[in-house]
A and B are shown apart, each in its own frame.
Chain A
Amino acid sequence: MDVEVDVTVIGSGPAGLTAALHAHESGAKNVLLLEREEELGGILKQCIHNGFGLEQFKKDYTGPEYAERLIEDLEKTNVQYFLNTMVLSLSPDKAITAVSPEKGLFHIKSRSVVLAMGCRERPRSSINIPGTRPAGVYTAGVAQRFVNIDGYLPGKQIVILGSGDIGLIMARRLTLEGAQVKGVYEIMDYPGGLKRNIVQCLNDFDIPLYLSHTVTEIQGRERVEGVVVSKVDQKMNPVGGSEQSIPCDTLLLSVGLIPENELSKEAGIELTPITKGPVTTETMETRVPGIFSCGNVSTVFDLVDYVAETGMIAARNAARFAAGDWKKGRNPVEIIPGENVRMLFPQRYSFKDDLILFVRCAKPIEKPVKIELSPVGMRLKRLYARPNEMIRFKVSRDKLKDVTGPIEVSITER
């Protein structure tokens, strides 16, 4: 079986669902959405907490409600979707090979492609914790799936390493389900997750948060019996003599997410180490013409609203590309991180559209800050800058039209 379409979207989480809908709304006639799981929605299905869509829909949805809303809209269109469909390869000329139980191995010819594969969790092996290899060490998202979809409690006495939002949310969730969460340990000297999650998920349930701490040993042969935690110094090295043994049967890891770009690499798409995602322009086009990228496969966003916004932009431009309404135009300029900028997205500006820029600072500043775009001469003010809170802002096309060289972004004290 072979399929020929205008736009193919790979992945049906918040980015992919939004992209499929908007490719259709932007006039693409044949839109195909591919999902490797047995239903649409991606990670939203297990994120049962509220706080989704506050900016996009002005509603406080839970993850499943947010997904259902997009799926209901999608069902009203003629967008096709294939479930249980795994994309095996993507070539630079946008040929897709996929496999599913119903269709077997098949090929898709697509005028443009939107990458929306999302990200995955960093596992134990990526942070090198010494000790034995017992059962009971899970990433926070896996534990979330066990509890919220499959109905299993991963343990009774839990230590959480890392204060990312999923870890914080699981601390509350496991407490409500009757487990005892002994503490959240964070190697940095500031929390990884949003402040509101520290309050609602930890403080509300008297769960302690230990900053500048990490797990330095996992104990137990068959099952986790305890962990050793240590303070860390400013270089994040464990401080000798600060070790403390904590009995527990489960260790959850909430130590970061990495964009899932195996397909992108195969298609010859250039990635950047800053985001671990494709290098894109403000149109979300990657360095391979006609392949666009959005959501957490591009860079790990803090809010679903941002994920959806990039999905919308990618879809609109993928539809234009598929319709042949795509001029090469001016050569793109680089957007580069300056003082106190750890991450920025997108990395290039191609003079086609307004620029929506996402930046993350390297060091927290709890004082009024200025964000400067040089040489554009643009200067924005914010009340503070925190590495765990992405800053989003829009720069109009008009302001950028005279730029000829790289644009440098900095975040400094006012």
Chain B
Amino acid sequence: MDIEKKHFTCIVCPIGCEIDVELQNGNVVSMEGNKCEKGKEFVLQELEEAMRILTTTVPIKGAKWAMLPVRTDKPVPKRLLSKVIEQLADIELQAPVKMYHVIVKDVAGTDASIVATRNMKKVNQRKDAKKDPISRKEG
């Protein structure tokens, strides 16, 4: 069987080890360059399913600011990041919102939730609403 070679830069800590692996039938036969066990775990996870925390924003009405920052409460598969973003496209929240309020459960079929990452108070009118002639454009 052919040996397949892959290269990874570890993102667990700031060292950023450059790790080379050799695979045969999808199994790791050698790994070089990792300075610790965490690097090995990272590479095995990347091979199985690369996982990332996603942070983004959703629009909010009745608050001082137009956007509320949100995150996934745990890492989600990297290949699903655009699916998660798509699922958030039609959401619009109403202030007030508390930090860690769950906005979407099991987002994009992952078992992660989208949660608010700050408190956002209700205000009667956005301070700049009157003098702002340009309405928010959809991205």
CA distance A148 to B69 in the complex (A): 7
A68 within 8 A of B: yes
Contact of B52 among A45, A150, A204 (CB under 8 A): A204
B112 within 8 A of A: no
Residues of B within 8 A of A196 (CB): 11, 14, 16
CA distance A160 to B82 in the complex (A): 22
Most buried by A among B14, B81, B82: B14
Residues of A within 8 A of B11 (CB): 195-196, 199-200
Per-position binary interface string of chain B over residues 71-112, scored 1 when its CB falls under 8 Å from any chain A CB and 0 otherwise: 100000010011001000000000000010000000000000
B66 within 8 A of A: yes
A274 within 8 A of B: no
Contacting pair A195 B9 (CB below 8 A): yes
Contacting pair B14 A195 (CB below 8 A): yes
Residues of B within 8 A of A195 (CB): 9, 11, 14, 16
Residues of A within 8 A of B15 (CB): 383-384
A60 within 8 A of B: yes
Contacting pair B137 A48 (CB below 8 A): no
Per-position binary interface string of chain B over residues 110-139, scored 1 when its CB falls under 8 Å from any chain A CB and 0 otherwise: 000000011100000001000000001101
Residues of A within 8 A of B53 (CB): 50, 60
How many contacts between A and B, using CB within 8 angstroms?
86
Residues of A within 8 A of B16 (CB): 194-196, 199
CA distance A179 to B85 in the complex (A): 13
Known A48-B117, A50-B53, A196-B16; judge A150-B66 contact (CB<8 A): yes
- A54 CB to closest chain B CB, in angstroms? 9
Known A177-B139, A198-B9, A383-B35; judge A148-B57 contact (CB<8 A): yes
Known A152-B136, A199-B9; judge A147-B57 contact (CB<8 A): yes
Residues of A within 8 A of B57 (CB): 48, 147-148, 151
- B residues 1-29 in Cβ contact with A at 8 Å: 9, 11, 14-16
CA distance A62 to B16 in the complex (A): 21
Contacting pair B117 A65 (CB below 8 A): yes
Residues of B within 8 A of A68 (CB): 99, 117-119
**CB nearest to B119 among chain A residues:** A68
CA distance A68 to B137 in the complex (A): 29
Residues of A within 8 A of B59 (CB): 151
CA distance A116 to B80 in the complex (A): 40
CA distance A204 to B55 in the complex (A): 14
- A residues 128-160 in Cβ contact with B at 8 Å: 147-153
Residues of B within 8 A of A194 (CB): 14, 16
**CB nearest to A148 among chain B residues:** B57
CA distance A148 to B117 in the complex (A): 12
A389 within 8 A of B: yes
Contacting pair A203 B64 (CB below 8 A): no
B67 within 8 A of A: yes
Residues of A within 8 A of B67 (CB): 147-151
Known A48-B55, A49-B55, A204-B52; judge A151-B136 contact (CB<8 A): yes
**CB nearest to A173 among chain B residues:** B56
Per-position binary interface string of chain A over residues 100-117, scored 1 when its CB falls under 8 Å from any chain B CB and 0 otherwise: 000000000000000000
CA distance A200 to B52 in the complex (A): 8
Contacting pair A150 B14 (CB below 8 A): no
Contacting pair B56 A48 (CB below 8 A): yes
- A51 CB to closest chain B CB, in angstroms? 9
Which 5 pairs, one residue from A and one from B, show the smallest C-beta to C-beta distance?
Answer: A195-B16, A151-B66, A64-B118, A48-B69, A196-B11
Interface, chain B (partner A; CB < 8 A): 9, 11, 14-16, 35, 50, 52-57, 59, 64-67, 69, 71, 78, 81-82, 85, 99, 117-119, 127, 136-137, 139
23 contacts between A and B (CB under 8 A): A45-B118, A48-B117, A49-B55, A50-B55, A60-B53, A62-B69, A64-B117, A64-B118, A68-B117, A68-B118, A147-B57, A147-B67, A151-B59, A151-B136, A152-B137, A153-B137, A173-B56, A176-B54, A179-B139, A195-B11, A196-B11, A196-B14, A199-B9
